[in-house]
Amino acid sequence: MSGLRILVPVKRVIDYAVKPRVNKAQTGVETNVKHSMNPFDELSIEEAVRMRERKLPVEDILAFSAGPAKSQDILRTAMAMGADRGIHVVEEKTDLEPLSVAKLLQKVVEEEKRNLVILGKQSIDDDANQTGQMLAGLLNWPQATQASKVEIDGESVTVTREVDGGVETLKAKLPMIITTDLRLNEPRYASLPNIMKAKKKPLEKKTLGDYGLDGEKRLKTVKVEEPKARQGGGKVEDVDGMIAKLKELGAL
């Protein structure tokens, strides 16, 4: 069989533990806060690295990110976790929409001759849950989204996916697209020696223009607002108090 040439796209997002604040101009959220790799993308890297550790014929693991110069940090993290090299499309001005990212990834897949792309199921900033499916559509490849288990045997890939009410299992042949769900694995921490080694791994810088794309936005942000604040209604003393209050609120 041919080897696995894996592409793992990663995104730099506001750290999951930070509560985002809407900016005064109502154009977005304050970004001068801690950023990290999108949690679902950590799962993608981890899964790719585990494939190699399971002695699957992994030829190489390519990490990819499009975004500001600082996205480099998360590509280094991906390499410290076990990716072999990285490509960084430096884009400072625009937050690329999923469709643009999918088109970009399509070019990367073709240029780099990938046969397996593992993406996170969604990024925790725009919560779109689209890029993997869009890429699968553009490439006309099979897709298995929200994967909680992946088994590869030769060309054949069996994926268990999280669906409403339980799980389902699908089977397809390489090349294919997989998106990760939280239950897939427990991502490792990068050790200091691996972080040091990652600094020496190749990281290629590119631009959207190199791929013949302009990152034009389709959607216009009209405004970004704080959600309606919920007022905590205070506390009750005991269970009877709780039942009485719930009745008063019409919930019982």
Partner 1 sequence: MVAPLRTSLLRQAGATCLRQQRTTLRPLSRSTLQRLASTLTVLEQRDGKLNMSSLASISAAQKVGGSVHGIVAGSNIKTVAEQASKVEGLEKVIFIENGDYDRGLAENWAPMLIENIKKGGYTHVIAGHSAFGKNLMPRVAALMDVQQISDITEVQSEDTFVRPIYAGNAILTVQSNDNPKIVTVRGTAFPSGAAEGGSASVEEGTDPKAACPTEWISEDLAKSDRPELASAEKVVSGGRGLKSKEEFDRIMPPLADALGAAIGASRAAVDSGFADNSLQVGQTGKNVAPQLYLCAGISGAIQHLAGMKDSKVIAAINKDADAPIFQVADVGLVGDLFEKVPELTEKLGKA
Q: 157 to 176, contacts with partner 1 by CB under 8 A?
A: 158, 162-173
**Closer to partner 1 at the Cβ: 90 or 167?**
167
Q: Kindly state the smallest distance separating residue 201's Cβ from partner 1, in Å.
A: 28
- One-letter amino acid at 109 equals V
Using the contact rule CB under 8 A, the part of the chain among 59-67, 82-90, 178-186, 196-204 near partner 1 is 178-186
Q: Which of residues 91-120 bind partner 1 (CB under 8 A)?
A: 97-99, 102, 110
Q: Kindly state the smallest distance separating residue 40's Cβ from partner 1, in Å.
A: 8
Tell me: does residue 128 bind partner 1 (CB under 8 A).
Answer: yes
Given 15, 53, 126, 155, the residue binding partner 1 (CB under 8 A):
126
**Could you give the angle at which helices 71-81 and 39-53 cross, rounded to 10 degrees?**
30
Each as own residue / partner, the long-range contacts of residues 103-110 (CB below 8 Å, 24 or more positions apart, any chain) are 103/138, 103/213, 104/66, 104/208, 104/211, 104/213, 105/7, 105/9, 105/64, 105/131, 105/135, 106/135, 106/138, 106/139, 107/211, 107/212, 107/213, 108/7, 108/62, 108/64, 108/211, 109/7, 109/135, 109/139
Q: Which of residues 29-88 bind partner 1 (CB under 8 A)?
A: 29
Tell me: does residue 129 bind partner 1 (CB under 8 A).
Answer: yes
Given 56, 72, 142, 210, the residue binding partner 1 (CB under 8 A):
142
**Closer to partner 1 at the Cβ: 57 or 137?**
137
**Closer to partner 1 at the Cβ: 65 or 123?**
123
For the chain, report the end-to-end CA distance as a whole number of angstroms.
62
**Closer to partner 1 at the Cβ: 9 or 86?**
9
Asked if residues 51 and 152 have their Cβ atoms less than 8 Å apart, the reply is: yes
Q: Kindly state the smallest distance separating residue 87's Cβ from partner 1, in Å.
A: 19
Task: Kindly state the tokens that stand for 175.
Answer: 């090349």
Given 6, 8, 10, 14, the residue binding partner 1 (CB under 8 A):
14
Binding mask 207-226 for partner 1 (x = CB under 8 A): ----------xxxxxxxxxx
Q: Where does residue 226 rank: exposed (0-12), middle (13-18), buried (19+ CB within 10 A)? A: exposed
Asked if residues 198 and 76 have their Cβ atoms less than 8 Å apart, the reply is: yes
Tell me: does residue 153 bind partner 1 (CB under 8 A).
Answer: no
